[in-house]
A and B are shown apart, each in its own frame.
Chain A
Amino acid sequence: MSKEVVIRAENVSKLYRLGQVGTGTLSHDLKRWWAMARGKEDPYMKVGAENDRTKKKTSDYAWALKDISFDIKQGDTLGIIGKNGAGKSTLLKLLSRVTSPTTGEIKIKGRIASLLEVGTGFHPELTGRENIFMNGAILGMTRKEITSKFDEIVDFAGVELYIDTPVKRYSSGMYVRLAFGVAAHLEPEILIVDEVLAVGDAEFQKKCLGKMGNVASHGRTVIFVSHNMQAVQSLCRTALYLKSGQVSDFGQTEKVINNYLSKEIKNCLSSEWEMDEAPGNDNIRMLGAEIAPHYNDKAEVMDVTTPFDIKIRFYNGADNALINLSLVLYTMSGVVIFNVGTKPQRLAKGVHESVLSIPGRLLNDDVYTISLYFVKDTATVLYVIDELLTFEIVDEARGDAWFGKWPGAIRPSLDFSIK
């Protein structure tokens, strides 16, 4: 069944200026104008560097998007995924006409409504009723359309009682529900949604997802941007994977997500050192460390169910020293998950190995890093190595309606049932 293409992006690029905007604007503008006047290319367009936030900047300009082309067909649900800074938000801004591309063109068929933020244009002093009309109008609805949907919106948001109260008195949950309610009852041909599902409780998320699925099943097109692979997987038929401003993969959601996970999660899963360059001192030298997962399916992704070993190889420089290892597991945001130590042991001079086994269903989904301490005589720290390994554990495919991050530092599987 060949469906109509409703969005077509052709070689879309977006150049951003780095650093302070304002200083030197006039001189850049003059140079640009001079180049144009002589019929030459914009001098600042050539120098734009690839958008990689980790690199030191080599130019004042960077391409947030570079040569993006894709087609979206009517009734498609497209998920846009990628790391922070990959250009997702820029692409959304372009699609929702908030800004325009530096080069290239996006062509759209039909009315488009975007939800880059819930409650855009909500005024705290206005009542719920007034804000529904205000917000609806900003999103492109006419008064008539809003009036006909009004009861449905109020019902969806569950705020009947407070409809004539200024929204500044609303709880944040009510506020978000009302805002999403307005947006969800828009009837555009194309709906663009940015991570709104991160807010609200599970019940409300279910409602939102249901509503979005509903929108899609009515032949309308939905574009959804999220960091949350679970949500993307369950909602979207196709996915677009952006990497450093370029399309890295585009196609069937599951394939794209797997590609994304295997490419983007830059795990430092193992390190090896030669004896002469190994970090450490005369007492201890780090020779190697490795995360060894025991995958249970063919998709080699470390999720919360995967058990794994942390293997450590080191050189002990003093014969018969009483050594113990102490390992601290941190999340990337710096929360200590645990600290485990080996029993102190008399070690011969030479290379030794140590293994820590971590079962599946213990750690939550997060990015972790390891610090390792070598302790002598249970008191003296001989050597410490930070960020020895870095690895990410991703969420498993869940069957429930909650798509937010699972709360908690750990995520053990405990016996919990209703008798």
Chain B
Amino acid sequence: MADHTKSNDADHWDISITSSRRYFDLNVHELWRYRDLLVMFVKKDIITVYKQTILGPVWFLLQPIFTTMIFVVIFGRFAKISTDDVPQVLFYLGSVTLWNYFSETLNVTSKTFSENATVFGKVYFPRLILPLSKVASGLVKLMIQFSLFIIAWVYYLFIKQAIHPNWHIVFFPLLLTLLALLSLGLGIIITSLTTKYRDLTFLISFGVQLLFYATPIIFPISMVDSDKQFWLWLNPLTSIFEAFKYAFLGRGVFSPVWLGYSTVFTLVAMGVGIFIFNKVEKRFIDTV
């Protein structure tokens, strides 16, 4: 009986290592098997940031506070850029928190291969776990920072009664998901391309800076001439940030059409990202 199964087993293999690439092979099963690793990576990211610091996790909060203060002074007081009658602190704090999440996640995921080359060169695990863990640890950090926004928001809402949020707040999880997937998708596209063509790295940091100004973060889209607004909407982040402002602050534009566009854009970016990420992960270690 035992011999029987053995002889038949010969053509069943668990792993096959070849050069052929199955592009859309996401291998969810394998990712799931390594879920504990994802949790460990997230823990590591959070813990190591504040090890041996006195303030610990408080540092996560100081970053948006400082940025907001600087924005209030520079864009609010000096440049006098309109915030659509929304209290400046609230206007900047919310979008800065979201932007930081997006840009930091994009930044770390776009270095997945180059920064982890030594680990990747020594041991196999589904490479996608790493950028995924960065998205998740970024979310944890975002939640801590977002609590700050909520405090300010509650203050302006109930005490100052200066803002008028609405039911569109229920879309917030969707907006966050879009933001997370978009940064992940773009990040893994960039990291895959930069393993071979390093030159791109320089373009990317420039591109992210440019994107900051092409997204309604420090200004409301209503400030832009209506005939030029179309170009701004082409930036998939625009509808996300505007919808966020509309839902929480009552000012901004909630555009289902452009949100749909952003969703499609995000899904395409994810698809393309996984496609080339899979292609690169098999052999990148030979080229870094």
Residues of B190-229 contacting chain A, CB below 8 A:
196-198
Interface residue B80 (Cβ < 8 Å from any Cβ of A): no
Which of the 9-residue segments A109-117, A148-156, A223-231 touches chain B?
A109-117
| A4 x B10 contact (CB < 8 A) | yes
Task: From the candidates A97, A138, A142, name the one contacting B17 in the complex (CB within 8 A).
Answer: A97
Residues of A107-140 contacting chain B, CB below 8 A:
107-112, 114, 116-117, 120-121, 123, 125-126, 130, 133-134, 137-140
Q: Mark A317-339, 1 if CB is under 8 A from B, else 0.
A: 00000000000000000000000
Query: Which 6 residue pairs are nearest across A and B when measured between Cβ atoms?
Result: A97-B124, A137-B37, A107-B13, A108-B15, A106-B17, A143-B36
Interface residue B287 (Cβ < 8 Å from any Cβ of A): yes
Interface residue B48 (Cβ < 8 Å from any Cβ of A): yes
Q: How many of A's residues come within 8 Å of B, CB to CB?
A: 50
| B14 x A100 contact (CB < 8 A) | no
Task: From the candidates B10, B44, B123, name the one contacting A123 in the complex (CB within 8 A).
Answer: B44
| A134 x B40 contact (CB < 8 A) | yes
Contacts of A109 in B (CB 8 A): 9, 12-15
| B10 x A5 contact (CB < 8 A) | yes
Task: From the candidates A22, A99, A123, name the one contacting B286 in the complex (CB within 8 A).
Answer: A99
Contacts of A143 in B (CB 8 A): 36, 39
Interface residue A402 (Cβ < 8 Å from any Cβ of B): no
| A106 x B16 contact (CB < 8 A) | yes
Contacts of B287 in A (CB 8 A): 17, 21, 25
| A134 x B44 contact (CB < 8 A) | yes
Q: Can you add 9 more A-B contacts, CB < 8 Å, to A130-B43, A142-B33, A143-B39? A: A2-B6, A22-B198, A26-B197, A97-B124, A108-B17, A112-B15, A116-B122, A121-B119, A134-B44
Contacts of B285 in A (CB 8 A): 93, 98-99
Interface residue A96 (Cβ < 8 Å from any Cβ of B): yes
| A96 x B52 contact (CB < 8 A) | no
Task: List residues of B whose CB falls within 8 A of some A CB.
Answer: 6, 9-10, 12-19, 33-34, 36-37, 39-40, 43-44, 47-48, 51-52, 119-125, 196-198, 282-283, 285-287
| B15 x A125 contact (CB < 8 A) | no
Interface residue A94 (Cβ < 8 Å from any Cβ of B): yes
Task: From the candidates A26, A120, A133, A137, name the one contacting B122 in the complex (CB within 8 A).
Answer: A120
* Known contacts A100-B18, A125-B48, A133-B40: A138-B119 contact under CB 8 Å: yes
In the assembled complex, the CB of A129 is this many whole angstroms from the nearest CB of chain B, namely 12
| B17 x A100 contact (CB < 8 A) | yes
Q: Mark A216-258, 1 if CB is under 8 A from B, else 0.
A: 0000000000000000000000000000000000000000000
Contacts of A139 in B (CB 8 A): 123
